[in-house]
Every structure is written in structure tokens, then in C-alpha cells.
Amino acid sequence: MFASNLLLLLAIILPLASLLLALRPDWQQAYRYCLPLLPLPALLAGLTLGPDASLELPGLLLGGRWGLDELRQVFLVLTATLWLVAGVFAVGYLKVHYLRRFCVFWALTLAGNLGLVMAQDIASFYSFFALMTFAGYGLVVHEGTGEANHAGRVYLAMAVVGEMAILSGLLMAAQQAGSGLLADLPAAVAEADRRWLIMFLLLAGFGVKAGLPLLHFWLPLAHPVAPTPASAVLSGAMIKAGLLGWLVTLPFGEVSLPDWGNALVILGAVGSLGGAVLGVRQRRPKTVLAYSSISQMGLMTLMVGAALANTEYAGPLFAVMALYVLHHGLAKGSLFLSTAMALPAGRGGQWLLWLLIALPGLSLAGLPFTSGAASKLAMKELLKPGNFEFAMAPYLPMLMSAGAVATMLLVWRFLWVQRAAASVGSNPAFMCLGWGLATAGSLVLFWWLPWPGAVPDKAWLATMVHESWSLFWPILVATVIAALAWRSVKQR
């Protein structure tokens, strides 16, 4: 008990305490090497603590409570892992230029991101969410270019509006619930007279972070201009905070809301396909990846819609979403980190590197025997039209396949522009290590990380062989389209 409380506390305190290293300019080199250590207690907490670990802090804010449950555990493992590998990468990536400032904003954003996953009371949750949002600005504008400042302005303006929507939504929900705990919100929102307003505010507020269509404008501007390790955590972990916000506040499992389900499925489809359409037209690898994130979040929005439409499937869908979050976070993190990697001189080495860069991408598209295939199969299992009765339900499988094609197209586009952008040279050891860890996490480690309990057990190998065609054809279709497009460009 004591040890688990200490670990939960340390997970937040360590990143915050590291700010002391910023007191003196000559400690900044030491600070740089501490970055990978900061998420370690959180990772340990995610891996070792049971889903019922919790810590009461009655004096904090309006009464604090931090802890884990099955959903938060997966989010915490992903968040901590991603910040860890990105931190390792950052040690090699960073230059002396504004080093101290970068470390400060890194630690603050990290503390916010970990904290919001663990927070179980409303005030802590909102506090950490705001900390992450505002500190994230420091990472976005770090390079100080005009482009970065512009992206930062858009990021901040939308983030502030989002924060206000979240605040109003939480206020109303908390007022209805008469409680300061997040766990009491869904039931209260379900019964509220102004349910539509509360839900709208929360959906839109968190939707800014999650890159919901029409609220996504900041995302393709901000993610590419940030330093590469920051892009990785922005797109892999922070974007998921919006999703987590939805999952812990909206009335899942309380009441079936087919209208909201329809609306979100449509929004999700627009995000998933629209993100791809916009993404394939981009010329910079990181921008393509940012649109890919929007597209992937579209698929998750689709699941959120389905879960809202049918109380029965909310629980299982949560588990699948958690799995999807884990998969996407690791794969996208690895892809973002790979954009800064220089190619080795030898031809064999180049081929190996391209393979390792491409694999997490293929995993996103659902290549059999990857994490993507695992989560896509789990998703398919649940989103069968027979399970749902709302208007958009029959289209779900089609949308999922279309999403897979779109994802693969984006991966091709990414590899294409990345090839043009890549330079030949050597990489600092820490960068290789960080990227290697991220890739290994996406391809190998994924299978050992704690899976949410409600996901069907891992008798996947046989299923994957059985389903390999259904998983593979979208990749094939996308590849054919990409090849045709490439030929037409070449002929012109």
C-alpha cells in the first residue's frame, strides 16, 4: 500500500522536481541526461501496480485522488513508454541552443500528461490537462522560426478555447453529479437536463486535443514544427489525452445515444478519410504523419461513437480502444522519430533502415502479425453490424476497410517524401537507441505490455492466418493505387 502510494506520488513529483535542475545554467547538460529517467516511476507504476491502486490527497485542490484502473493502466504504460524512448532520443537530438528551456517545458508537459492519466478527481485532471496544454506550447515554438510561432499561436488559441469548453462542461457535469470525482460524472451526465450541452462542450473541448475534424487545424501545423522527440510525444501520447478525456467523462454504459453515435461515426469517418486525402498532398514527412494521426484518431472517434450508441458494447469497446491507443502510440512515435534519422552509407544498411522505418507504418495499416493487425481484429470483432442498431452501424466494416486503405496510402506517401528528405550520415548513439527502442516497442514489446482484460485473449496467431486476406487486401489496394500514382507522376 505504502509502496504503491509512493510510486504514484513519485510518478508526478519526479518530473516536477527535476525543474530544480533548471536553477543554474551550468546544470543544463546534466538535465539533458535526466530526461529519459523522468517517466520511469510512472512506467513502473503502470507495469506493476494493480488496477485498484489509488492515492487519496484530501488537502489537494478541491480534494484530490490519483490512481489507476484498467483503462488508465494502458494509457499510463503507453504514455510513460513513449516519453521514455522520446527522452532517450532527445538526449542525442538536442543541441545546446535553448537546451535548458527545452528541458523545462519537456518536464512540465510530461508531468501534465502523466498526471492527467492518473487523476481520478476533476480538479486534478483539469489541472494536469491544462499544464500539459500550456507547457506543450513551449515545445511547439521551440525552434523560434516564424513558422513555429505561427503554429504556436494557432495551437494556443485553439487550446485555450478548448480548455474553456472543457471547464464549462466539467463544471456543469460536476454540479449535476454533486461530486468532485471523475467516476461520478458519466451517470450524472446521462441524467442531466442539459445533457446535449454538456456532451457537446466536452466532446468539442477534448476534441481539440484529439484532432476532431474542424478542430484539428492546429495539429498539422504544430506537430511538424516541433523538435522531433516532441512531435513524437505530441502525436503519440498527448493527442490520446483528448480521447481519455472523452472516455472518462461521457456517459458510456449509462444510456444508449444513437444520435450522438451517428454523429460521431460520421465525424470519425470524415476525419479518417479526410485526413488521408489531405495528408497525401503534403510534401513534408512530419506533416504527412500528422495527418495520419488525424486519420487514426478518426477511427477511434468512430469507436467512441459506437460505444455511445450502445451501452452494452461500451465496456468491450473501451478495452479495444485502449489496445488501439497502445498500438497507435508506439507505432506513430517510432515513425515520428524515424524522420530525424540519417541513412547509413552502405546499401545494405539503408535497406535495413527502410525496412525498420516501414514496418511500424505497415503495422498501422494492419499488416498481419503486427500490433495493428491485433487491434484491428479486435475492433472488427466488436463492430460487426449485428451488434449495433443505429443508422450508421451497417457502414462500420466498410469504413474500417476504407480507413485501412487510407492509412496505407499515407504510409506510402510518407515513405516517398521521407526518401526525398533523408540525408546520408551518422546518427548520435542516443538517437539510434531511442528510435530503436520505439521501433522495438511497436513491433515486439507490444505483445508483452499489459493488455486490457476485456480484449479476447491472445490466441491471435491462428486467427491472423485465417484473417490474413481480409487484413492484407487493403494494403494491396493502397499499394496498387500508390504505384499507379507514382507512375503517372513519373510520366509527367
Partner 1 sequence: MNLSVLMPVFALMTSLVASVVLFALPERGFRLRTTINLVAAILKIALVGMMIWGVAQGREYEAAFTMVPGVEFVLRADALSMLFAGLSALLWLLTTIYAVGYLEDSPNRSRFFGFFSLCVASTMGIALAGNLFTFFLFYEMLTLSTYPLVVHRGTTKALRAGRNYIIYTLTGGAVLLFAIAWLHGLVGDLRFQEGGYFSDIAPSMQGPLTIIFVLMIVGLGVKAALVPFHGWLPQAMVAPAPVSALLHAVAVVKAGAFGIIRVVFEIYGLEAAKDMGLLAGLSVVAAFTIIYGSTRALYQVDLKRRLAFSTVSQVSYIVLGLCLFGPVGVAGGLVHLVHQGIMKITLFFCAGNYAETLGVHRIDELDGAGKRMPGTSVAFTLGAFGMIGAPPLAGFITKWTMGSGALAVGMDWVVAVLVISSLLNAAYFLPILHRLWFAEQCEPWPHERRWGRLETSAWLLWPPLITAALMLVAGLIANLPFSPLSWAELIVAREVAL
Residues that bind partner 1 (CB under 8 A): 58-64, 101, 123, 126-127, 130-131, 134, 138, 141, 144, 149, 152, 156, 160-161, 163-164, 167-168, 171-172, 174-175
Nearest to 183 by CA among 129, 125, 107, 99: 125
Task: Count other C-beta atoms under 10 Å from residue 429's C-beta.
Answer: 11
Tell me the C-alpha distance between 224 and 291, whole Å. 10
* Cα–Cα distance for residue pair 253/250, rounded to 1 Å: 9
Of the pair 100, 286, the CB lying nearest partner 1 is at 100
User: CB of 179: closest distance to partner 1 in angstroms?
Assistant: 11
Least distance in angstroms from the C-beta of 402 to partner 1: 38
Q: Tell me if residue 491 falls in helix, strand or coil.
A: helix
Q: Among candidates 415, 438, 305, 309, which has minimal Cα distance to 362?
A: 415
Residue with smaller CB distance to partner 1, 130 or 181: 130
Query: For residues 490 and 492, what is the distance between their CA atoms, to the nearest angstrom?
Result: 6
DSSP helix/strand/coil, 142: coil
CB contact at 8 A, 397 and 380: yes
Q: Residue 164 or residue 476: which is nearer to partner 1 going by CB?
A: 164
Q: Is the dihedral of CA 465, 466, 469, 475 positive or negative?
A: negative
Our CB check for partner 1 shows the closer of 122 and 234 to be 122
Shortest CB 147 distance to partner 1, Å: 14
By three-state DSSP, how is residue 343 classified?
Answer: strand
Q: CB-wise, 245 or 279, nearer to partner 1?
A: 245
Hey, is 489 helix, strand or coil? helix
Whichever of 105 and 414 has its CB closer to partner 1, that residue is: 105
Q: How far is the CB of 240 from partner 1 (least distance, A)?
A: 21
The burial of 381, by beta-carbon neighbours within 10 Å (0-12 exposed, 13-18 middle, 19 or more buried), is given as middle
CB of 162 to partner 1, least distance (A): 11
In 45-176 the beta strands, taken as DSSP E runs, fall at 54-57, 64-67
Rounded least distance, CB 157 to partner 1, Å: 9
CB of 103 to partner 1, least distance (A): 14
**Closer residue to partner 1, CB minimum distance, 55 or 422:** 55
